[in-house]
């Protein structure tokens, strides 16, 4: 069984309720109108998502599954626990830990859970 869901919001507090994972806090760090869109895909045990976020932000996330994260288009760098992720890079993140994740501007990125 598989499913695909697309969500959009201009409210950061609403957006974090619509995406994965469930336990997170988001702080927008740039002036302007927030806009975000996410596509969440589930294929059995495989979970993936692609997101676009318009403004820079910091997010505190606790994840239950390990995975990879990457930029899907050239653009501003993103940072995971202080490590820089550029277009063409793939970053691994571990499960059952808190992560601090920062976008430095309008960013398109993807994530794939590994278990």
Q: How far is CA 23 from CA 26, 32, 77, 87, 110, in A?
A: 10, 25, 24, 27, 18
**Which residues are registered as beta bridge partners of 107?**
53
Average pLDDT, consecutive stretches of 10 residues, N- to C-terminus, the chain (115 residues) = 93 87 80 94 90 93 88 95 95 87 94 85
Q: What pLDDT, on a 0 to 100 scale, did the predictor assign at position 93?
A: 87
Q: What pLDDT, on a 0 to 100 scale, did the predictor assign at position 45?
A: 84
Q: What pLDDT, on a 0 to 100 scale, did the predictor assign at position 76?
A: 94
**Which residues are registered as beta bridge partners of 46?**
43
Q: What pLDDT, on a 0 to 100 scale, did the predictor assign at position 23?
A: 57
b/e map 71-106, b = 16+ CB within 10 Å: beeebeebebeeeebeeeeebebeeeeebebbbeeb
């Amino acid at each position: 069984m598989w499913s695909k869901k697309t969500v959009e919001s201009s409210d950061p507090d609403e957006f974090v309720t619509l995406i994965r994972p469930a336990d997170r806090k988001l702080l927008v760090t740039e002036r302007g109108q927030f806009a975000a869109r996410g596509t969440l895909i589930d294929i059995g045990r495989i979970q993936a998502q692609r997101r676009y976020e318009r403004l820079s932000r910091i997010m505190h996330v606790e994840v239950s599954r390990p995975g990879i994260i990457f930029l899907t288009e050239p653009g501003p760098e993103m940072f995971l626990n202080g490590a820089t992720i550029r277009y063409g890079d793939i970053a691994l993140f571990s499960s059952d830990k808190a992560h601090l994740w920062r976008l430095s501007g309008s960013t398109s990125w993807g994530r794939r859970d590994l278990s």
